[in-house]
Amino acid sequence: MSLDASKVGTTTKAKIHDYDWREQAAYALGIGARRDELAYLYENFSGGMKVFPTYAVVPAFEHVVELIMATKANMAMVVHGAQKVRAHRPVPPRGKLETVGTLKGVYDLKKFAQLIIETKSSLGGEPLFDTEWSIIVRGAGGFGGDKPPSEETPKVPKDRAADFTVEQATSPEQALLYRISGDTNPLHADPEFAKAVGFEQGPILHGLCTYGFVARAVIHERAGGDATKLRMLSAQFRKPVWPGDTIVTQGWDLGNGVVALQALVKERPDPVVSNAWAEIEG
């Protein structure tokens, strides 16, 4: 079944995401937070509980699924291509978010199709964060559609070593823990399903879990552990990560709070995240 490109421009109905410290702690643990990051895990932290801005993907998720399904994409062939989050202000540890999503584009990549989905979340009528999702539908290309527009982004310098490198081990249960935040795709839990869709080694880690690990690394290295200073994070997912892999995040300072990023896994040489960059508030 071919994709229904006529759905471009479709906007979901606004939905309320009511959350408190439990959702925040579950998300933080899902992206690997440790006990020395207690401010993101404990509701009675003395300075007030903090929130990772990449939590923006959680209230967006059901809108993204709804819009993917609107195109009649085969969900078994869907993989996450890239992710961007922009935070407009610090996220409080509890609240009621109103989120809407829009299908911005359906593009032809020959063998694959690409869906671009944007969401916007507000709190108390004021913008809180925006997300942009690149969704790849394997085997759905070749329908004669447009190519995606090109975008200039900060690049990793080729003439110097990284300014910082952070190694973070994932647990064998990491994907099972991350899925508590709402992404219950069986690709990340069911060995038989993973094998049936081409991942013989078993369930893979959510791309957004890897994304969260990268966010934590840059927050630690360039924001003094203060996630409110991470204003934007963009990344492309290149290769799968398996639970138990060690994610190695490398960063290059480009000036004015811009950091170019890439991530590898210690167990294999190829980048798993590339064309990545962050904006850090000074």
Structure tokens at 269: 């040489």
Q: Note whether 255 and 220 are within 8 A (CB).
A: no
Enumerate residues 6+ apart whose C-beta is below 8 A from 265: 241, 245, 246, 247, 248, 272
Is 146 assigned a catalytic role?
no
From the candidates 183, 219, 251, 280, which is the catalytic residue? 183
From the candidates 17, 63, 80, 188, which is the catalytic residue? 188
- If we measure between CA atoms, which residue out of 215, 201, 120 comes closest to residue 168? 215
Is 204 assigned a catalytic role?
yes
From the candidates 32, 145, 207, 251, which is the catalytic residue? 207
Query: What is the C-alpha separation between 123 and 77, in angstroms, rounded?
Result: 34
How many Cβ atoms from other residues are within 10 Å of residue 170's Cβ?
A: 23
Query: What is the C-alpha separation between 122 and 99, in angstroms, rounded?
Result: 7
Query: What is the C-alpha separation between 164 and 253, in angstroms, rounded?
Result: 9
First CA to last CA distance, the chain: 49
**Sign of the four-CA dihedral 240, 244, 245, 247:** positive
How many Cβ atoms from other residues are within 10 Å of residue 202's Cβ?
A: 16
Query: What is the C-alpha separation between 233 and 207, in angstroms, rounded?
Result: 14
Query: What is the C-alpha separation between 97 and 217, in angstroms, rounded?
Result: 26
From the candidates 204, 219, 247, 280, which is the catalytic residue? 204
Query: What is the C-alpha separation between 44 and 17, in angstroms, rounded?
Result: 22
The alpha carbon of 24 is separated from its chain's Cα centroid by a whole number of angstroms, namely: 16
Enumerate residues 6+ apart whose C-beta is below 8 A from 136: 78, 79, 80, 81, 109, 112, 113, 114
Cite the active site residues: 183, 188, 204, 207
